[in-house]
Structure 1
Amino acid sequence: MIVPKFGVGTFRLSGQAVVDSVKNALETGYRAVDTAQIYGNETEVGQAIRESAVNRQDLFITTKIWTEHYSHEKLIPSLKESLHKLGTDVVDLTLIHWPAPKLGISITEMMQNLLEAKHQGLTKHIGISNFNIELTQQAIDAVGIENITTNQIELSPYLQNQKLASFLQSQNIDVTSYMTLAYGKVLNDPVLGKIAKTYQTSTAQIALAWALQNGYAVIPSSTKREHLLANLKAQDIQLNTEEMLQISSLERNGREVNPENLAPEWD
């Protein structure tokens, strides 16, 4: 697996909140940071990295190209701007953020533009986010399976996306789970609560442990140092087969993020 199993997300964080969150994450042991052009916080993420004591070569930084930058004229300049904001010469991973089928730019074109950025040494790895099976296959056909590092998709106990996740794993494409806690909706789940009691942990840790045991990378975010630390400890939890089955029964197709014009037809 190329993508680190555990990273810190920065979605919906801005200003000093994102600086503090990333610095706290790095201080507590995180070494992967996930951001995106549309989050509007790459500058603050870069600041946090500079102000931390962690060497750049020990970090795995991911950003995502926003839809308006997919064209040949715009993708590479936009990524160079992201690098400038992040204060680095190269990011570890760059993703196409949404397939945005109604934009009129083909998957082939956007992926080849992204591959060109990799060839120019602006990013070590490339991948996709929010792609369904059909569009993932188009991306594979466009740039070769060896160039699709991950598909970052919404996954939680309430949205298990089994068909897509199984397809990705069958292709040896890393699955990165975002929104693993479903905007906090899973935190009060009685099934997760019961399992958490057994391990004397939180429901958040159980949900993250479930994702990790399924072989997914996770990128939870938090503005609280104690939550960042607690999330990290999900890696120490080993759920048994019965508990994993109980969690898989929670599937309710509870998608939280599905922007019109950007999202594909889901599998």
Structure 2
Amino acid sequence: MILQETFTLSNGVEIPKLALGTWMIDDSEVAAAVDAALKLGYRHIDTAQAYANERGVGEAIRNTDIARKELFVTTKLDASHKDYEGAKAAIDGSLETLGLDYIDLMIIHSPQPWGDFAGENRFFQGNLEAWRALEEAYEAGKIRAIGVSNFEKVDLDNLLENTRIKPMINQILAHVSNTPFDLIDYSQSKGILVEAYSPVAHGKILGNEKIAQIAAKYSVSVPQLCIRYCLQLGLLPLPKTANPDHMKSNADVDFQISDADMDVLKNTDRIKDYGDASIFPVYGGKM
């Protein structure tokens, strides 16, 4: 069962192969969602400072009967922190808000502040400063693994060439119809595990008839097919839901997509409109 399987990061830490994403789940509701996921067998929960729900996630982690060492909690350093002191304070702030003794994985949410996302300024020095704060927290035992999100090759190279500890994760937008193979291959070649957020394209892929036909061949749903697709590429999917039924079906992906069908999925026409999510920078818009 996929919920019992793990990847091994470059530092030897094991990370569950499927995570529950919590983006856009309100802090007042997220504890119940996380608790439901844990009862279904999920052991990896993904949150972020920018989601404003770390408190609720931490509440569920603290109140479960499952041993803390069996759980994997990811959070993200807000994209605005491009200085050492600010990043250091924010890391400690996440620990306090979560109410946990340590964080399993903490990543820089974006190489650029959201207002500058996809702009020319890559904030190289600011990312080195934020990374230094993460390195110190890692070496102090506050964090078990450190990484990045939305980093392109040039952003990764900045860290790979100028830091002591290399990123262990790069969390990126990746799904059927939008799979950045060059970035995935480059990250993996550097020993960086790639996590795929929005593996079901923020729901915008559900109406694709070609994908629905392939899913029907395997007697699975389109979301199940999309999650399995990511896994077969060696990616760690992060489907977001507060619905326990969806959590359960998202984890029921113990089937194998044929090479021929994988080729079709890899070459599916790219989604250009993410609907209501298009206002967010990572989906092509600007905040």
Report the TM-score when normalising by structure 2: 0.85
Please name the residue that 2:117 is paired with.
none
The more displaced of 69-78 and 87-96 is 69-78
Q: What SS is found at the alignment partner of 2:213?
A: helix
Contact 1:8 / 1:220 at 8 angstroms: preserved in 2? yes
The number of residue pairs the alignment matches comes to: 261
Alignment of 1:43-122 (within 5 A): 43-100=55-112, 101=121, 105-122=125-142
Please name the residue that 1:203 is paired with.
222
Contact 2:83 / 2:126 at 8 angstroms: preserved in 1? no
Alignment of 1:184-263 (within 5 A): 184-234=203-253, 236-252=254-270, 254=272, 256=274
2:152 is the counterpart of 1:140: no
Contact 2:172 / 2:194 at 8 angstroms: preserved in 1? yes
Q: What SS is found at the alignment partner of 1:83?
A: helix
* Ranges in structure 2 where 5+ consecutive residues have no aligned partner: 1-7, 10-14, 113-120
Q: Partners of 1:34 and 1:142 in 2: how far apart?
A: 28
How far is the alpha carbon of 1:21 from its aligned partner?
A: 1.3
How far is the alpha carbon of 1:255 from its aligned partner?
A: 7.6
1:105 and 1:12, CA in 2 relative to 1: closer, same or farther beyond 3 A?
A: farther
Contact 2:169 / 2:195 at 8 angstroms: preserved in 1? yes
Contact 1:70 / 1:113 at 8 angstroms: preserved in 2? no
State the Cα deviation string for residues 205-262 of structure 1 (Å, max 9, x = none): 000000000000011111111100000112x0210101101101114164856856x9
2:192 is the counterpart of 1:173: yes
Report the TM-score when normalising by structure 1: 0.91
Q: Partners of 2:283 and 2:141 in 1: how far apart?
A: 29
Matched residue type, 1:175: V
Contact 1:98 / 1:263 at 8 angstroms: preserved in 2? no
How far is the alpha carbon of 1:201 from its aligned partner?
A: 1.2
Aligned Cα root-mean-square deviation (Å): 2.1
How far is the alpha carbon of 1:102 from its aligned partner?
A: 6.2
How far is the alpha carbon of 1:103 from its aligned partner?
A: 5.8
How far is the alpha carbon of 1:113 from its aligned partner?
A: 2.2
Q: Partners of 1:263 and 1:192 in 2: how far apart?
A: 21
Q: What SS is found at the alignment partner of 1:74?
A: helix
Q: Partners of 1:259 and 1:204 in 2: how far apart?
A: 22
* Ranges in structure 1 where 5+ consecutive residues have no aligned partner: none
1:211 and 1:21, CA in 2 relative to 1: closer, same or farther beyond 3 A?
A: same
Q: Partners of 1:253 and 1:99 in 2: how far apart?
A: 24
Q: Partners of 1:176 and 1:119 in 2: how far apart?
A: 23
Q: Partners of 2:94 and 2:127 in 1: how far apart?
A: 22
Contact 1:132 / 1:164 at 8 angstroms: preserved in 2? yes
Q: Partners of 1:263 and 1:182 in 2: how far apart?
A: 9
Q: Partners of 2:33 and 2:138 in 1: how far apart?
A: 29
Q: Partners of 1:9 and 1:60 in 2: how far apart?
A: 12
Q: What SS is found at the alignment partner of 1:175?
A: strand
1:103 and 1:96, CA in 2 relative to 1: closer, same or farther beyond 3 A?
A: same
Contact 1:27 / 1:52 at 8 angstroms: preserved in 2? no
Q: What SS is found at the alignment partner of 1:68?
A: coil
2:149 is the counterpart of 1:129: yes
How far is the alpha carbon of 1:142 from its aligned partner?
A: 2.4
Q: Partners of 2:79 and 2:230 in 1: how far apart?
A: 28
2:48 is the counterpart of 1:36: yes
